[in-house]
C-alpha cells in the first residue's frame, strides 16, 4: 500500500524536520536526487535546460543544475521571476558555470522547477509558453507544474513529465495525475508525518486480500452473491454482472430478474430465478445494472436494501435512490452499502463532482453513510469513516458500455466473501482496470472481453 500525504501535512512535517537540520541541507538533498535521476534520463545526452520559478521548487532545480555542472553537463536556466529566484541556488548554479538564458536552447532533458507544493491553478502564460516550446523529455521537480498537488486537477496548461522526483513522501498528485515514473527521495520526514491521507493499493495488496478457497471451503463458504440486474430490454447487463461475480470468486451466484433465461444460457453455474422473492439466501447483493427505474425495479431495490446483507448499488439503483429518497429508509443503517456512481450518477445523487474527486467521494460517503466508489480514469473509494483509496487506471480501455456492470459483479462477490467494503471496492477497481488493460493490449475491447480477462487479472495480482 502506498500512502499519500496532502500538502498541509507535508508542510507541517517539513517544518519540524527543517528546524532540526542545517539550513539548506534538505534542499541540497532533494536536488542531489533530482540530479541523479536527470543523469539517468540523459543517457548519452549532455545538455539540460531548467525552467525555474520563484520558490523553493526553483531552488531545487538550480541546485540540481549545480550538481549536473559538477558532472560536466551543460546546463541552461530560464528564470521565470528573476528577482525572486532562489538566491543561494542561483549563486551556486552560476559559480559552477551554469548559464542563465531568456529562452532554452535545444536540450536533451528539461527540468521543471516552475512550481511545487505552493502551486495554485494552471501554468501562468509566460511559464506555459516556455513549456510549450520544449521538445525534450521533462523531469518534474516534486510534481509536474500546473497540476494541483492535492487534487491532481489540471484545468489548463501543465507540464507533461517523463518522470517526477518527489521528496519526503508521495503526495495525492502522484496517484491522481500522470507524473510519469515517480521517484521518492527520503528527507527523513517519516516520523513526523503521521498516517497518510490517502492510500493506493498495490497489486500485491489486492492479491493478498483476494478471497481464495482453502481446504475447508465448500460452495457456500466463499459467500453467495445475489445479482438483481437486467431487464427484458437490457439482459446483457445481467449477463455481464453475473458473469463477473461467477469469475471473481469461487462462491456461488444467484441471479434474480427478468433476464434469467439469458443469464442461464451464458452462465450455467448461476442459480437463476425470475423473481427476487424466490432468490434464496445470499451474503451480498449487487443491484442496478440494466434494472430499469420503474415501480417494479424500485420494489426490487427495496427488497435488496431490506435484506440485511451488504449491497452494491450501481447504475439504475443509484438513479432510483437519487429520484426517490424514500428508498433510503428501506436500508438497515448498520449494513454496508457501496454506491458506484460515475460522474453523472454522482451529480444526480449529490451535486456536481467538481475538480476535487477525493473531496466529492468523501462528501457523498459521509452524507449517505456508505462506501462511495466514484468511477473514472481515477477511481476514488471513500468510506463513511473517512478511509480513502485511489486507483488511477493505466489505460482508458475500460471506458466502454457494460464495463460498469462487470465492476459491480466483481465488487458484489467480494462483499459476499466478507471483505471489508472499502477494501472490496478498492480491490474490485484495481482488478477491473487491470483486466481492461490485459484484454485490450493496445486495441479497443468490448466489456465481454474485459470480463473474460478477469481470471488473468486475478492471477496477475495473486502472483505478486
Ligand X SMILES: NC(=O)C1=CN([C@@H]2O[C@H](COP(=O)(O)OP(=O)(O)OC[C@H]3O[C@@H](n4cnc5c(N)ncnc54)[C@H](O)[C@@H]3O)[C@@H](O)[C@H]2O)[C@@H](O)CC1
The binding site for (6S)-NADPHX consists of: 56-60, 116-122, 142, 237, 290, 342, 405
Q: Per-residue contact track with ligand X, 7 to 46, x per CB under 6 A?
A: -------x---x-------xx--x----------------
Helix, strand, coil tally for the chain in percent (to 5): 45, 15, 40
Out of K ion, ligand X, none, which partner does residue 123 contact, by CB within 5 to 8 A per kind? ligand X
Q: Does 264 bind ligand X (CB under 6 A)?
A: no
Which of ligand X, K ion, none is residue 120 near (CB under 5 to 8 Å by kind)?
ligand X
Provide, rounded to whole angstroms, the least separation between the CB of residue 241 and K ion: 43
Whole-angstrom Cα distance, residue 273 to residue 396?
A: 35
Q: Which residues pair with 284 in a beta bridge?
A: 225
371 binds K ion (CB under 5 A): no
Interacting span for ligand X (CB under 6 A) from 104-112, 114-122, 310-318, 402-410: 114-122
Q: What residue has cell string 493490449?
A: 441
State how far the Cα of 99 lies from the Cα of 78, in Å rounded to an integer.
9
CA 362-368-369 angle, 5° bins? 80
From 57, 151, 403, 413, residue interacting with ligand X (rule: CB under 6 A): 57
Residue 83 CB, shortest distance to ligand X, in Å, is: 12
Interatomic CA distance for residues 434 and 450, integer angstroms:
9
- Only one of the segments 121-129, 132-140, 203-211, 302-310 lies at the binding site for K ion (rule: CB under 5 A); that segment is 132-140
Please enumerate, by residue number, every residue annotated as part of a binding site.
Answer: 56-60, 112, 116-122, 142, 145, 237, 290, 342, 375-379, 404-405
119 touches ligand X (CB under 6 A): yes
Tracing cell 436494501 back to the chain, one arrives at 305
Binding flag, residue 163, K ion (CB under 5 A): no
The footprint of ligand X on this chain (CB under 6 A) covers a number of residues equal to 28
The answer to whether residue 141 forms part of the interface with K ion (CB under 5 A) is yes
When the beta carbons of 141 and 179 are compared against ligand X, the nearer one is 141
Pick out residues in 161-190 that bind ligand X (CB under 6 A).
167
Q: Which of 284, 299, 378, 391 is nearest to 337 (CA)?
A: 284
> Residue 47 contacts by C-beta under 8 Å, 6 or more apart in sequence?
73, 74, 75, 76, 105, 106, 107, 108, 109
- Between 34 and 313, CB nearer to ligand X: 34
Is position 444 an interface residue for ligand X (rule: CB under 6 A)?
Answer: no
For residue 117, state whether it binds ligand X (rule: CB under 6 A): yes
Closest residue by Cα to residue 178 from 160, 200, 155: 160
Site residues (CB under 6 A) for ligand X, limited to 412-441:
none
Binding of residue 124 to ligand X (CB under 6 A): yes
Q: Which is nearer to K ion, 158 or 363 (CB)?
A: 158
145 binds K ion (CB under 5 A): yes
Q: Give which of 357, 359, 349 is closest to 328, Cα–Cα.
A: 349
What are residue 434's phi and psi, to 5 degrees?
A: -70, -40
Q: Tell me: does residue 119 bind K ion (CB under 5 A).
A: no
User: What is the smallest separation between the CB atom of 47 and ligand X, expressed in angstroms?
Assistant: 23
Sheet holding 99-100, edge to edge: 99-100, 74-79, 47-52, 109-113, 138-141, 163-167, 181-185
Cell numbers standing for residue 431? 482488478
Measured distance CA(6)–CA(359) in Å, rounded = 12
Distance CA 437, CA 439 (A): 6
Kindly tell me which residue out of 14, 60, 108, 112 binds K ion, with binding defined by CB under 5 A. Answer: 112
Q: Which residues bind ligand X (CB under 6 A)?
A: 14, 18, 26-27, 30, 53-58, 60, 114-124, 127, 141-142, 146, 167
Amino acid at each position: 500500500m502506498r500512502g499519500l500525504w496532502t500538502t498541509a501535512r507535508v508542510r507541517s512535517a517539513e517544518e519540524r524536520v527543517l528546524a532540526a537540520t542545517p539550513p539548506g541541507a534538505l534542499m541540497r538533498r532533494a536536488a542531489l536526487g533530482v540530479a541523479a535521476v536527470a543523469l539517468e534520463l540523459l543517457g548519452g545526452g549532455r545538455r539540460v535546460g531548467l525552467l525555474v520559478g520563484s520558490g523553493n521548487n526553483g531552488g531545487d532545480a538550480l541546485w540540481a543544475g549545480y550538481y549536473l555542472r559538477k558532472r560536466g553537463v551543460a546546463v541552461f536556466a530560464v528564470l521565470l521571476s528573476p528577482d525572486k529566484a532562489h538566491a543561494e541556488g542561483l549563486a551556486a548554479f552560476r559559480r559552477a558555470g551554469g548559464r542563465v538564458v531568456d529562452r532554452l536552447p535545444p536540450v536533451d532533458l528539461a527540468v521543471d522547477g516552475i512550481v511545487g507544493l505552493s502551486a495554485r491553478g494552471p501554468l501562468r502564460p509566460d511559464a506555459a509558453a516556455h513549456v510549450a516550446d520544449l521538445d525534450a523529455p521533462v523531469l518534474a521537480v516534486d510534481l509536474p507544474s500546473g497540476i494541483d498537488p492535492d487534487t491532481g486537477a489540471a484545468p489548463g496548461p501543465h507540464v507533461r513529465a517523463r518522470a517526477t522526483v518527489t521528496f519526503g513522501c508521495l503526495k495525492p498528485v502522484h496517484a491522481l495525475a500522470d507524473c510519469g515514473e515517480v521517484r521518492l527521495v527520503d528527507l527523513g520526514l517519516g516520523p513526523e508525518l503521521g498516517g497518510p491521507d490517502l492510500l493506493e493499493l498495490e497489486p500485491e495488496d489486492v492479491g493478498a486480500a483476494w478471497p481464495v478457497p482453502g481446504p475447508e471451503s465448500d460452495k457456500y463458504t466463499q459467500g453467495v452473491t445475489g445479482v438483481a440486474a437486467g431487464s427484458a430490454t437490457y439482459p446483457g447487463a445481467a449477463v455481464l454482472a453475473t458473469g463477473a461475480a461467477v469469475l471473481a470468486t469461487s462462491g456461488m451466484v444467484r441471479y434474480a430478474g427478468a433476464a434469467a433465461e439469458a443469464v442461464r444460457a451464458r452462465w450455467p453455474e448461476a442459480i437463476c430465478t425470475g423473481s427476487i422473492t424466490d432468490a434464496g439466501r445470499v451474503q451480498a447483493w449487487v443491484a442496478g445494472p440494466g434494472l430499469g427505474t420503474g415501480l417494479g425495479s424500485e420494489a426490487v431495490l427495496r427488497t435488496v436494501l431490506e435484506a440485511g446483507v451488504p449491497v452494491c448499488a450501481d447504475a439504475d439503483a443509484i438513479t432510483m435512490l437519487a429520484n426517490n429518497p424514500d428508498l433510503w429508509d428501506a436500508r438497515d443503517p448498520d449494513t454496508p452499502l457501496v454506491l458506484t456512481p460515475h460522474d453523472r450518477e454522482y451529480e444526480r445523487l449529490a451535486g456536481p463532482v467538481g475538480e476535487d474527486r477525493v473531496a466529492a467521494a468523501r462528501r457523498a460517503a459521509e452524507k449517505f453513510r456508505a462506501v462511495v466508489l466514484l468511477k473514472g480514469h481515477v477511481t476514488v473509494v471513500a468510506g463513511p469513516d473517512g478511509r480513502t483509496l485511489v486507483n488511477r487506471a493505466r489505460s482508458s480501455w475500460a471506458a466502454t458500455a457494460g464495463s460498469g456492470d462487470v465492476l459491480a459483479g466483481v465488487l458484489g462477490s467480494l462483499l459476499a466473501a466478507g471483505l471489508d467494503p472499502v477494501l472490496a471496492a478498492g480491490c474490485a477497481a484495481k482488478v477491473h482496470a487491470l483486466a481492461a488493460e490485459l484484454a485490450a493490449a493496445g486495441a479497443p475491447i468490448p466489456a465481454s472481453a474485459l470480463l473474460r480477462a478477469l481470471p488473468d487479472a486475478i492471477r496477475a495480482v495473486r502472483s505478486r
